[in-house]
Amino acid sequence: MPFFLSKNNFLERLITIMSETIVLTGDRPTGPLHIGHYFGSLINRRELAKQHRTFIMLADVQALTDNWDNPQKVRDNVYEVLADNLALGLDLDNVTLYIQSQIPQIAELTVFFSNLVTINRLKRNPTVKAEIEQKSEKFGEDGVSLTYGFLGYPVSQAADILSLQSNLIPVGEDQLPMIEQTREIATKFNRIYGEVFELPKELLSTGSRIIGLDGNAKMSKSLNNCIYLRDSAEETIKKLIKAKTDSIEGISYNPEFRPEVSNLVKLYALCSEQSIEAVLPELESMRTGDFKMKLAESMNDYFAEFRAKRAEIFADKAYLQEVLEKGKREALERAEQTMQKVRQAMKIDY
C-alpha cells in the first residue's frame, strides 16, 4: 500500500525522518553528581535534550565492573544520580531515563559482541589502560587481578549505544576510544551478519573541566574532592574555605602556574554567568579568604533553585519510581526491536 494512503503510516514515517537523531548519554551511579559534571556535561545535556530524542542511562552494570563488592553503594547512587538529572528540568516526553540492568537486551547484545572483539584490542584501549593503572588497589600492579568484566566494559558500552540504535553520543575527550571501539564492533557485525547498525557519531564536549578542591587534576566522585549538587549552602561554604590554594598574593587566572586559584576563578565566572576576563578586575586585589566567600555566595545563588528542586524530587520516592518505570518501558521497547533484527541477522531467531 503506498504510504500516502495511510495517514498514520505517513505520520510515522515523517516522525522517523524528522527525529532521526537519537542521543544516548548517562552516568555511572558511583556517587552523587558534582559541579564538575554540571558544568562539564549536564548543562549541555539539557540543551541537547531540547533538540533531540534523548536517552539517559543510569549505568549500574558498568558501575559494578569496578564496584562489584559494593552493590549497596551502586543502588543508592542510582537514585542520587536520577534526582540530579531530574532537577535539570528535562522534558520527560522527550527524555527517557532508565537503569541499565533493567534492559536485559543490553547484556544479550554484549555477549554477541564479545565474539567480535579481540582481547588484544581491548587491552590497547587507552582509556581502559589508564583506568586499570589508576585502579591498582582493585586490579593489582600491572593489572594482575584484572577482571574479564572490567576489561570488557567497552563491549558493553557498544551494546548500550547500539541496542537503542542511538547515533549521537556526547563524550569527553577520554571517552573517544569507546566510540571508536563501538564503530569497529558495529562495522564488523554488519559485515558478517548483514546491515543492522548505523555507525554512531560522537559529540565532543565543549564543557568546562573542573579540577578537584584538593588540586587534583579532576573533580571526581571517587576522589572525595567535590562539591556535590546535593550539598547545602553551608556545606559549600565549608568546602570552599578548605579548598587548596597557594600563597601568592591576590587573585589571578593562570591555570598552568596557579591551577587551584584559577579553577576557583573559573567557577566564579561560571556561577556569575560572565567571562573570566570580565570577572578578573573585581577579584585581582582580593585576599584569598575574601574571594572564597564571594565565590561561595555566587555559587549558592546560582544553585539555589536547582538544589531546592533536587531536594523536593529526591524526597518523592513514588515519583522517582514512576520515572524509572516509564523509562524501563520505553528503553525495553526500543532495545527489543533492535534485538529482533540482531537475532534474525545472526540466525538465532528460532
**Contacting residue, 22, 24, 37, 236, with ligand ATP by CB under 6 A:** 37
Angle between helices 126-134 and 176-193 (to 10 degrees): 130
Report the C-alpha gap between 331 and 319 in whole angstroms: 18
- Nearest distance from C-beta of residue 242 to ligand ATP, angstroms: 18
Task: Point out which span in 36-44, 113-121, 312-320, 335-343 binds ligand ATP (CB under 6 A).
Answer: 36-44
Does position 236 interact with ligand ATP (CB under 6 A)? The reply is: no
Task: Point out which span in 22-30, 82-90, 177-185, 286-294 binds ligand ATP (CB under 6 A).
Answer: 22-30
Residue 221 is among the residues annotated as catalytic for this protein: yes
> Residues 167, 54: contact at Cβ < 8 Å?
no
Does position 222 interact with ligand ATP (CB under 6 A)? The reply is: yes
Does position 266 interact with ligand ATP (CB under 6 A)? The reply is: no
Q: Which is nearer to ligand ATP, 114 or 175 (CB)?
A: 175
Binding string to ligand ATP for residues 121 to 160, with x set by CB under 6 A, is what? ----------------------------------------
- Nearest distance from C-beta of residue 26 to ligand ATP, angstroms: 9
- CA–CA distance from 111 to each of 101, 104, 188, 210, 221 (Å)? 14, 11, 15, 36, 30
Neighbours of 175 (CB within 10 A): 17
Residue 218 is among the residues annotated as catalytic for this protein: yes
R_g over Cα of the chain:
22
Please name the residues in contact with 94: beta carbons below 8 A apart, sequence gap of 6 or more. 49, 50, 53, 54
Task: Point out which span in 119-127, 153-161, 180-188, 217-225 binds ligand ATP (CB under 6 A).
Answer: 217-225
Three-state DSSP at 210 gives coil
Residue 135 is among the residues annotated as catalytic for this protein: yes
Three-state DSSP at 133 gives helix
User: Distance of alpha carbon 30 from its chain centroid, rounded?
Assistant: 11
Place of cell 547512587: 77
Is 286 exposed, middle or buried (CB count within 10 Å of its CB: 0-12, 13-18, 19+)? middle
- Nearest distance from C-beta of residue 219 to ligand ATP, angstroms: 4
Q: Which is nearer to ligand ATP, 42 or 296 (CB)?
A: 42
Does position 36 interact with ligand ATP (CB under 6 A)? The reply is: yes
**Contacting residue, 209, 258, 326, 341, with ligand ATP by CB under 6 A:** 209
Please name the residues in contact with 267: beta carbons below 8 A apart, sequence gap of 6 or more. 35, 39, 210, 295, 299
DSSP E strands, 186-262: 201-204
Does position 274 interact with ligand ATP (CB under 6 A)? The reply is: no
Half-sphere exposure of 38 (CA within 13 A, CB side): 22
Task: Point out which span in 1-9, 28-36, 271-279, 341-349 binds ligand ATP (CB under 6 A).
Answer: 28-36
**Contacting residue, 219, 229, 237, 271, with ligand ATP by CB under 6 A:** 219
- Nearest distance from C-beta of residue 59 to ligand ATP, angstroms: 8
- Nearest distance from C-beta of residue 244 to ligand ATP, angstroms: 15
Q: Which is nearer to ligand ATP, 41 or 338 (CB)?
A: 41
- Nearest distance from C-beta of residue 241 to ligand ATP, angstroms: 20
Report the C-alpha gap between 18 and 32 in whole angstroms: 35
Task: For residue 31, give the DSSP letter.
Answer: S
User: Distance of alpha carbon 220 from its chain centroid, rounded?
Assistant: 12
The candidate with the shortest Cα–Cα distance to 181, out of 149, 142, 153, 150, is: 153
Does position 82 interact with ligand ATP (CB under 6 A)? The reply is: no
Residues 157-186 touching ligand ATP, rule: CB under 6 A, are 172, 175
Enumerate binding residues for ligand ATP (CB under 6 A).
27-28, 30, 36-37, 40-41, 172, 175, 205, 207, 209-210, 218-222
Positions annotated as catalytic residues are: 135, 218, 221
